[in-house]
Structure 1
């Protein structure tokens, strides 16, 4: 779950919904044609393992707020990561390898035994998947992983910031797009552009959300729509 605090309420976005919006961003990039065709599938499906976890809000009793994807307990989270990668890899080996690389990168330098084991198993999976690829596909994996992470950040920017604001620390200085620094600029609370503009045309992204209050009661459900302008 992606969690944005809003006064005494919490705005919640399901991870898989956010990933689908990541793919919406990818499809509108001017340069999308230079990436592997399976990259967009990987972007759209990279958080599919969260679907079961996000059916319910898991409450962080110590912090008195919902757990977010950033601090969700590893016990249920790691098997969900693995199941999601399994699903993607069964459909598309290249996309599965990208998702595996994405998740393995979260645990570089960690000491938790379960996280270390997860990373080691994913590195082994990547080698198996690469063995069935053409050399030019293997050469393109790191490029396409950067695309996945960039589009992931575009969607996270929309979810983690109040419309019209850029306060979440990850994005205050912009985002890296293959060596170029892209700055998000709000034209209004519902209109967003990036400078320099990486997109070929204006489009709208829409993501469902729900709101719970501090008493853990559901308050609202709706759709957040943002117009991306060029």
Structure 2
């Protein structure tokens, strides 16, 4: 399953896990005078970095849509495959770091539940015949999280504070995922403007919406700015002719033979005195890409 975009006769392809790693690198810069670096920060960064590690297998094998003759984009993957791959990634991260695994699990289940109400505009469409199976999975996962949390509560102080920190970290995982999608799915020349969030700057504060806009040269203004400095980041991609391929082997061969390209972006704060506050009514949706 890839992040893909069509441009100028080519299909641009970013591996899900490459996107995940890139997001994790940027997440390490989270925190400044306005945005507090949260508790469990190391685990948070690991969760962002590895939230799509379950998709390594699909990136390698290349999922193919025989009707379109192209690789399957991440928003069109078969739901049962989606559950299977994310489940493997969740287990892998949980074994390495239970807190990071919990965040990955929340990210995964959130994709079926409008991100637990965090972003009602984005949720996977669940076929009616699969709804009972998905509901059962969501319930069983939430029961499993109780045991995970109980082990951490013993070491972290009040349960309410732990939960509050956990959901703030979940907000950051969602924002970092979307910010990475922005640079993965756009050309350097983009001036597209999107609003993402909400994210709490402080544990006790209300969530704020964050506006992201390309400047047409690979620079992306982020307002308000949550990072400790300007952040340079690299998207790794390949491109193949944007045609209808006759078989899985044909598209697999095209992708295997395509050279990896490294595209450099830079996240920067707004110029002092400028703001995107007039755009508060807009919202982020993957469908806009």
Q: TM-score of the superposition, structure 2-length normalised?
A: 0.71
Aligned position for 2:106: 101
Q: Which runs of 5+ in 2 are unaligned?
A: 115-125, 154-158, 201-206, 246-250, 270-289
| Aligned partner of residue 227 in structure 1, secondary structure | strand
1:50-61 equivalences under 5 Å are 50-61=55-66
- Larger of the two Rg values belongs to structure: 2
Greater shift in the superposed pair: 9-18 or 67-76: 67-76
Tell me how large the CA RMSD over aligned residues is.
2.1
Q: Which residue among 210, 213, 223 is the counterpart of 2:262?
A: 223
2:35 aligned with 1:34, yes or no?
A: no
Q: Would you say the 8 A contact 2:190–2:215 is kept in 1?
A: no
| Aligned partner of residue 68 in structure 2, secondary structure | coil
2:143 aligned with 1:124, yes or no?
A: yes
Aligned position for 1:11: 12
2:115 aligned with 1:90, yes or no?
A: no
Aligned position for 1:175: 196
Q: 1:124 to 1:139 in 2, by over 3 A?
A: same
| Aligned partner of residue 215 in structure 2, secondary structure | strand
Q: Would you say the 8 A contact 2:48–2:177 is kept in 1?
A: yes
Q: Would you say the 8 A contact 2:191–2:216 is kept in 1?
A: no
The count of residues paired between Structure 1 and Structure 2 equals: 226
| Aligned partner of residue 187 in structure 2, secondary structure | coil
Q: 1:49 to 1:191 in 2, by over 3 A?
A: same
Residue 84 of structure 1, CA deviation = 0.4
Aligned position for 1:24: 25
| Aligned partner of residue 33 in structure 1, secondary structure | coil
Q: Would you say the 8 A contact 1:20–1:45 is kept in 2?
A: yes
Q: 1:32 to 1:160 in 2, by over 3 A?
A: farther
2:236 aligned with 1:205, yes or no?
A: no
Residue 11 of structure 1, CA deviation = 0.8
Residue 7 of structure 1, CA deviation = 3.3
Give the distance between the partners of 1:190 and 1:11, measured in 2 at CA: 16
Q: Would you say the 8 A contact 1:101–1:126 is kept in 2?
A: no
Aligned position for 1:154: 179
Aligned position for 2:162: 137
Q: 1:8 to 1:52 in 2, by over 3 A?
A: same
Residue 166 of structure 1, CA deviation = 4.9
Q: TM-score of the superposition, structure 1-length normalised?
A: 0.88
Q: 1:159 to 1:195 in 2, by over 3 A?
A: same
Q: Would you say the 8 A contact 2:38–2:169 is kept in 1?
A: no
Greater shift in the superposed pair: 210-219 or 19-28: 210-219
